[in-house]
């Protein structure tokens, strides 16, 4: 008998693209898929290029056992497509680089390798994540800290309303500390929809 996966905590339909959803990461079912993503050259900024399946399992077990960090598997039309991590900056190294405010939530995102490129897909993934984070009334601002060399995610962050704050030194990288408030995201969303 197949074990049931966790139910989605967030779901949205995007016209022309399909249904995007987020569900809690399942260690038993999702580690192999995630390992196949984080060991691809495009995921080098994730820092797990040479990781074994056991290494990835250990990292996500650590996250699962944390009270301040959660991982979610994102699905597109029911198939694994992306990963989102949500964390409380006050309990993370990034929280030592700025004055953490009530309502701050940290986020990491990794999109799985596409089987075929779909125009607008990555933007829809990012909007799904931002919408899910801001659906929590306690969240006022999203915090990200991409590697300074990762210009692709920095451009996507800017398109979604993030504003760069400062370059900070974290244990594993030099990063652009960036913030996006509800209003900044709403304004960027309107601009993106207007074309």
Contacts of 24 (CB under 8 A, 6+ apart): 6, 9, 70, 71, 72, 73
Query: Would the pTM count as exceeding 0.85?
Result: yes
Give residue 108's pLDDT: 97
User: In this predicted structure, what is the pLDDT of residue 116?
Assistant: 83
Task: Kindly list the distances between the CA atom of residue 166 and the CA atoms of 74, 129, 188, in Å, as whole numbers in the listed order.
Answer: 29, 23, 21
pLDDT (0 to 100) of residue 2: 57
Separation CA 173–CA 46 (nearest Å): 10
Can you give the pLDDT of all 195 residues of the chain as single tens digits? 455 777 889 999 999 999 999 999 999 999 999 999 999 999 999 999 999 999 999 999 999 999 999 999 999 999 999 999 999 999 999 999 999 999 999 999 999 998 888 899 999 999 999 999 999 999 999 999 999 999 999 999 999 999 999 999 999 999 999 999 999 999 998 887 776
Tokens matching residue 53: 């399946």
For residue 98, give every residue at least 6 positions away whose Cβ sits within 8 Å of its Cβ, in sequence order, or none: 89, 165, 166, 168, 177
Can you give the residue ranges of every domain in the chain? Answer: 10-194
User: What is the b/e burial string over 90-115, where b = at least 16 CB atoms within 10 angstroms of the residue's CB?
Assistant: eebebbebbebeeebbbbbbbbbeee
Predicted pLDDT at 191: 83
Q: Which fold has domain 10-194?
A: Aminopeptidase (3.40.630)
Separation between Cα atoms, residue 111 and residue 121, nearest integer Å:
10
């Amino acid at each position: 008998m197949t074990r049931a996966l966790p139910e989605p905590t967030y779901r949205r339909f995007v016209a022309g693209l399909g249904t995007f959803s987020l569900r809690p990461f399942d260690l038993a079912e999702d580690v192999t898929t995630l390992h196949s993503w984080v060991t691809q050259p495009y995921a080098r900024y994730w820092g797990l290029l040479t990781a074994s399946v056991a290494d990835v399992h250990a990292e996500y077990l650590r996250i699962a056992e944390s009270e301040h960090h959660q991982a979610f598997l994102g699905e597109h039309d029911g198939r694994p497509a992306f990963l989102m991590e949500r964390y409380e900056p006050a309990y993370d190294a990034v929280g030592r680089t700025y004055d953490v405010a009530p309502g701050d939530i940290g986020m990491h995102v990794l999109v799985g390798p596409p089987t075929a490129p779909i125009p607008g897909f990555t933007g829809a993934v990012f909007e799904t994540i931002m919408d899910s984070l801001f659906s929590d009334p306690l969240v006022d601002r999203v915090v990200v800290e991409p590697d300074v060399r990762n210009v692709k995610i920095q451009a996507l962050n800017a398109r979604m309303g993030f504003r760069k704050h400062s370059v900070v030194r974290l244990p594993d990288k030099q990063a652009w500390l960036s913030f996006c408030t509800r209003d900044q995201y709403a304004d960027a969303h309107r601009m993106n929809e207007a074309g």
